[in-house]
Amino acid sequence: MSAKPQNASPSVAADLNPVDLYNVRAMLTEEERLVQDSVAKYVDDQVIPIIGDCFEHERFPRELVAGVAELGLLGSSIQGYGCAGLNAVSYGLICQELERGDSGLRSFVSVQSSLCMYPIYAFGSEEQKQRWLPRMAKGEVIACFGLTEPHGGSDPANMKTYAKKQGKDWVLNGAKMWITNGAIADLAVVWAMTDAGIRGFLVEKDFKGFSTSIVKHKMSLRASVTSGLFFDNVVVPEENVLPGVVGLKGPLSCLTQARYGISWGVTGAAQACLSQVIDYTKTRMLFGKPLAATQAVQIRLAEMARKITTSQLLSLQLGRLKDQGLMVPTQVSVAKWHNARAAIEVARDARDLLGGAGISVEYVPIRHALNLESVITYEGTETVHQLTVGRALTGINAF
């Protein structure tokens, strides 16, 4: 009598987590699992109950900022200055769980942490760090990142915003567009062309000549504030100029940090979609049996799980490389490109499996699918990341 193959045991299959087929959680340290669990609980308790209504009514849930800050999620990878000093994998898990709630909330944390606190920490003076970082970590100061301009975003070197030295100060003129947090920000980290190259400027909200507008009627990231920034002879004192960098290296390094977090975040959105559609197809009866009992549906669910699993493993390895100081931007491009594409495909297919119910905000896939239309575009379009990888493979710049 032959023994039953171990891999055929029903108990093994029953132990599998549908949104973590390769048990990535087992590859995490105890601290990383603790971070994931605390953020997951916060999202379940505080975010998910209200986020659908926020999306529907185009409202950023500012009341969540205090809780996010209390958990240490703002600037979580920064050492000192009131920040948590967590590793890169922990930051990725934070992004994953937040985006399981909504891309808008993850975008808020990503902008505050990777695009605003990071450049102050990496390129700012000690005075700038002491002045801004502790208050940003507490959520007392909200910041935005001003790089993209109205005429285009994929070619930042072609920026029109200009800063001219005038005595001991700088005079800033120009405009930025599609800026997350812009209209609610106390501080804008603005990148502008100067006679010496691109520089970073810390523009405070009460500086004369600085104004913002809110982008309304969005069909994506509706629970996030998107704005235009306008600079009309704004005087910026020398002490508000980031001294540690000149050129595109500054803003591009910030984007690398943010793209890293996005590669994790989008997988959280995909997991939320798959989890809900599995439950739905098990209970939705059609032609005398549940949808989940059909081959076509099981194949589609399996495809979603395959994409999520691949994305999880890409991000985890990327995080380990980052923590070892070995990560390079091309690797980030691979993960952002692959994982955002995988997530939007999962969200769209999940919405389709929900049938007519799939267009309702009561179900998460349509909200995540619409949000991911923005996420797949910002911080580098698919084409930009494909060309980045192609350049690394060939040594030829085809931009």
What positions carry a catalytic annotation?
A: 379
Report the C-alpha gap between 113 and 116 in whole angstroms.
6
Report the C-alpha gap between 112 and 261 in whole angstroms.
12
Please report, as a single letter, which amino acid is at residue 136. M
Give CA separation, 104 vs 189, 278, 361, 364, 375, in Å.
19, 24, 15, 14, 10
Q: Count CB neighbours of 240 within 10 A.
A: 21
Report the C-alpha gap between 281 and 357 in whole angstroms.
12
Report the C-alpha gap between 64 and 122 in whole angstroms.
27
DSSP code, position 217: S
Report the C-alpha gap between 192 and 175 in whole angstroms.
10
Report the C-alpha gap between 86 and 95 in whole angstroms.
13
Instruction: Indicate the burial class of 391 (C-beta count within 10 angstroms; 0-12, 13-18, 19 or more).
Output: middle
> Phi, psi at residue 345, to the nearest 5°?
-70, -40
Phi-psi region of 91 (alpha: psi -120 to 50; beta: other; left: phi over 0): alpha
Report the C-alpha gap between 223 and 270 in whole angstroms.
18
